[in-house]
Amino acid sequence: MFDDFLIRKDSLKNVTHDGKTVGFCFGVRIADYRGCFLSLHNGYYISVDGVEYPREVQRFGINGKAPRTFEEIKKCCWEHWDFDDEGIVYVEKEGGLTPGVHRVGLQQSVLSQYGYMPWDEEWVKNPPVPGSGAGSGKTANICYYDLKLQEGEVEI
């Protein structure tokens, strides 16, 4: 669900730190009809122009706090990502993205489900790797977006 709208179209920007361009970021919404406890958010499958950026180089900005890794997010058992709110996905990439339009592939992993499932213990030990479709919430396919890199960089 919300296939065409999970990433805000005019949100792709490069990210700087200490005067150097260290990556890029974009705004996302939850692929569900409800929010979630933040701990359930398990990262993204992200590809840009065919290059994949795994969960280890991703951070997530939500609730007015500084971007956090998904290892930190995993511990936020009582913080909530509200349905109405946009989060920002930060991706490490030295030099950032080049100006122009980029093809971004996205699958969001949120481990919300409707009760006990046969794979529960396995998911505690080995959470699904985003992109496989497992743990992908209400939008199981990878969605693609042609996004123009916006002017101005985001300082973190």
Partner 1 sequence: MIKRGVSLYSYQQSQFFKKLDLKGQIREVREGLGTDGIEIIDEAAIPHYPFPSEEFIYDWHSYMARYRMKAVTMDVYMDVHQFRDHVMTHEEAAEHLKQDIMLAHKLGFRNVRTLVLVPTDVIEMCIPTAEKYDVRIGKEIHAPWPIKPGGQIKAQKGMAAVVNFRMVDELLELKERTHTDHIGLVPDFGIFQYRPSEVAIDYVKRHAKNPDAVDWILENAANYSHDEILTLVDEKFPGHGIPGSDVERMATHESSAKPEDIIDIIPHIISIHGKFYNMTEIPGQPGHYEDKCIDYETPMKYLRQYGYDGYIDSEFEGQRDQQDRGVEHLVDEVEQVRRHHEMLRRLSGE
Minimum CB separation of residue 22 from partner 1 in Å reads: 28
Pairing of strands 13-17, 20-28: antiparallel
For residue 15, the Cα-to-chain-centroid distance in whole angstroms is 15
Please count the residues of this chain forming the interface with partner 1, following the rule CB under 8 A: 38
Can you name the residues that pair with 15 across neighbouring β-strands?
Answer: 23, 154
The stretch among 15-23, 49-57, 111-119, 145-153 that binds partner 1 (CB under 8 A) is: 111-119
For residue 36, the Cα-to-chain-centroid distance in whole angstroms is 14
Minimum CB separation of residue 11 from partner 1 in Å reads: 15
How far is it, in rounded angstroms, from Cα 99 to Cα 56? 25
Binding of partner 1 by 101 (CB under 8 A):
no
| E-only strand ranges, the chain | 13-17, 20-28, 36-37, 41-48, 51-52, 58-61, 68-69, 80-81, 87-92, 101-110, 143-148, 154-155
Binding of partner 1 by 66 (CB under 8 A):
no
Minimum CB separation of residue 10 from partner 1 in Å reads: 14
Minimum CB separation of residue 78 from partner 1 in Å reads: 8
User: How open is the CA angle 118-56-102, to the nearest 5 degrees?
Assistant: 105
Binding of partner 1 by 141 (CB under 8 A):
yes
Exposure of 9 in the CB half-sphere (CA atoms within 13 A): 4
The stretch among 10-18, 44-52, 93-101, 105-113 that binds partner 1 (CB under 8 A) is: 105-113
Nearer to partner 1, 142 or 156 (CB): 142
Residues that bind partner 1 (CB under 8 A): 1-5, 29, 33-37, 39-40, 74-75, 77, 80, 82-84, 111-118, 120-121, 123-124, 127, 133, 138, 140-141, 143
